[in-house]
């Protein structure tokens, strides 16, 4: 297999992706810091801003995917990165909180425009054998920038004031555009069926892929269950830790531990995927469930977890979460026709974001009825059961393929 670094155009794309990831995480850190410390936003305004950070991805993602399948993805990335820089500068000039929150939505829309063309460009450059290695490398870089971005935001705020992070964001957008210069004539789209922009919101291509590909069906089911589980417990994590008497710094440790686990999972993913294939996703889902189930059951029994045990569980959580999500990403890239890869990957992401938007509402309602520890136990149990269910489906599909291959060999024999 050819090394990724030797693939023409891959290095500039990787550099642009790293800068892009750093920009996204920096934006998230700076925007919510400014809401609290510069604009004095209350909980309602912060909640609205958080929703506006997700809704553009949910609604706009399928359209950007449809566009990436038909336009030049490199040109789309340049336009998206330019929009990020412009919205950063506009946020600097926002006259009041209402305008600032509206611009946050525009920035989220600009951020949402980058992922589909990146997917299309990766698929056009790499062979199927290289996709797992690329997924691991890209995710490791993304998680490292997730750790670095808050440090950069804190440093620039301490030195130059709270607005300085937006200047850095605008500068990084310009740097990402520079990384794309060698790619300006690459990755012209394959010919695709002619459809109107209204077709961008249709689920047909994704449903067809789910019906036709066992690997995509299993991995998508695992990640959808994982997303719903995450939405149920994650907003309540800090409250559970507080009820256990842990200090506020412990929550930050868990965030860093999750990122560290995800980096480990991303680095191990290419080799594990070569060995296990789609059988890797269900155990990832089940292990995440165990890391949530254990503290929920213990807290419900009145048993506290030591801080270091929390950290260890969340390192494992991040690793397993990463392995399951990467399995889906690679399965879609390998199995989806090139002419609809952008729209299918974006639509899959939007469908899963629906669970991420609705599950916290359900989790909050359940927490008021049965208590936070039982919500953790319930969501963890859901993930474990889902892992068992999808593991059975994956094994049946694997056994069915082996039987079919044996039958074909017998028919081809003398």
Question: Same structural domain for residues 225 and 311?
Answer: yes
Question: Same structural domain for residues 95 and 224?
Answer: no
In a domain, 196, yes or no: no
In a domain, 195, yes or no: no
Query: Which residues fall within 8 angstroms of residue 26, CB to CB, at 6 or more apart?
Result: 149, 152, 153, 165, 168, 169, 172
Is there a contact between 33 and 162 (Cβ–Cβ < 8 Å)?
yes
Question: Same structural domain for residues 80 and 175?
Answer: yes
CATH of the domain at 154: 1.20.1250.20
In a domain, 197, yes or no: no
Q: Which domain holds residue 124?
A: 9-185
pTM for the structure as a whole = 0.78
Half-sphere exposure of 323 (CA within 13 A, CB side): 30
Per-residue pLDDT of the chain (414 residues; tens, 9 = 90+): 458 878 888 899 999 999 999 998 888 888 877 887 788 877 567 667 777 777 888 888 888 888 888 888 889 999 999 999 999 999 999 999 889 988 988 998 998 888 889 888 888 888 877 888 888 888 888 888 888 887 888 788 888 888 888 999 999 999 999 998 888 766 555 555 555 545 555 677 888 888 888 889 999 999 999 999 998 888 888 788 888 888 867 777 887 888 889 999 999 998 888 888 878 899 999 999 999 999 999 988 888 888 899 999 999 999 999 999 999 989 988 888 877 888 888 888 888 888 888 888 888 888 888 998 999 999 999 999 999 999 998 887 655 554 444 444 444 454
Query: Which residues fall within 8 angstroms of residue 148, CB to CB, at 6 or more apart?
Result: 22, 25
Question: Same structural domain for residues 119 and 33?
Answer: yes
Question: Same structural domain for residues 93 and 140?
Answer: yes
Residue at a domain's end among 185, 214, 240:
185
Other beta carbons within 10 Å of 334: 16
Question: Same structural domain for residues 99 and 213?
Answer: no
Other beta carbons within 10 Å of 151: 10
């Amino acid at each position: 297999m050819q090394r990724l670094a030797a693939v023409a155009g891959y290095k500039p794309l990787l550099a642009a992706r790293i800068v892009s990831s750093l920009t996204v995480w920096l934006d998230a850190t700076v925007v919510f810091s400014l809401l609290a410390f510069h604009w004095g936003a209350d909980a309602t305004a912060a909640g609205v801003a958080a929703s506006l950070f997700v809704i553009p991805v949910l609604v706009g993602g399928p359209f950007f995917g449809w566009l990436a399948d038909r336009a030049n993805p490199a040109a789309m990335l340049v336009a998206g990165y330019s929009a990020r820089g412009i919205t950063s500068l506009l946020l600097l000039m926002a006259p009041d909180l209402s305008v600032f929150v509206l611009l946050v939505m525009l920035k989220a829309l600009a951020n949402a425009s980058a992922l589909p063309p990146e997917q299309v460009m990766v698929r056009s450059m790499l062979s199927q054998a290289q996709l797992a290695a690329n997924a691991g490398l890209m995710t490791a870089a993304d998680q490292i920038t997730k750790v670095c971005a808050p440090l950069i935001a804190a440093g620039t705020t301490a030195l130059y004031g709270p607005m300085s992070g937006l200047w850095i964001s605008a500068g990084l957008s310009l740097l990402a555009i520079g990384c794309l210069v060698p790619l300006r004539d690459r990755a012209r789209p394959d010919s695709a069926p002619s459809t109107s922009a209204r077709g961008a919101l249709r689920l047909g291509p994704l449903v067809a892929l789910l019906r036709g590909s066992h690997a995509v069906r299993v991995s998508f089911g695992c990640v959808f269950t994982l997303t719903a589980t995450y939405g149920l417990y994650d907003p309540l994590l800090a409250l559970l830790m507080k009820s256990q008497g842990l200090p506020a710094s412990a929550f930050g440790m868990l965030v860093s531990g999750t990122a560290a686990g995800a980096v480990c999972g991303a680095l191990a993913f290419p080799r594990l995927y070569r060995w296990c294939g789609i059988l890797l996703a269900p155990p990832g889902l089940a292990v995440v469930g165990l890391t949530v189930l254990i503290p929920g059951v213990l807290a419900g029994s009145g048993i506290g977890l030591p801080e270091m045990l929390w950290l260890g569980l969340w390192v494992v959580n991040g690793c397993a979460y990463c392995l399951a999500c990467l399995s889906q990403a690679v399965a879609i890239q390998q199995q989806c026709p090139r002419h609809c890869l952008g729209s299918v990957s974006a639509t899959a992401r939007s469908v899963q974001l629906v669970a991420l938007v609705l599950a916290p509402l359900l989790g909050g309602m359940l927490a008021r009825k049965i208590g936070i520890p039982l919500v953790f136990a319930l969501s963890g149990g859901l993930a474990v059961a889902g892992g068992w269910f999808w593991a059975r489906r994956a094994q049946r599909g694997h056994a069915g393929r082996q039987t079919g291959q044996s039958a074909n060999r017998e028919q081809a024999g003398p």
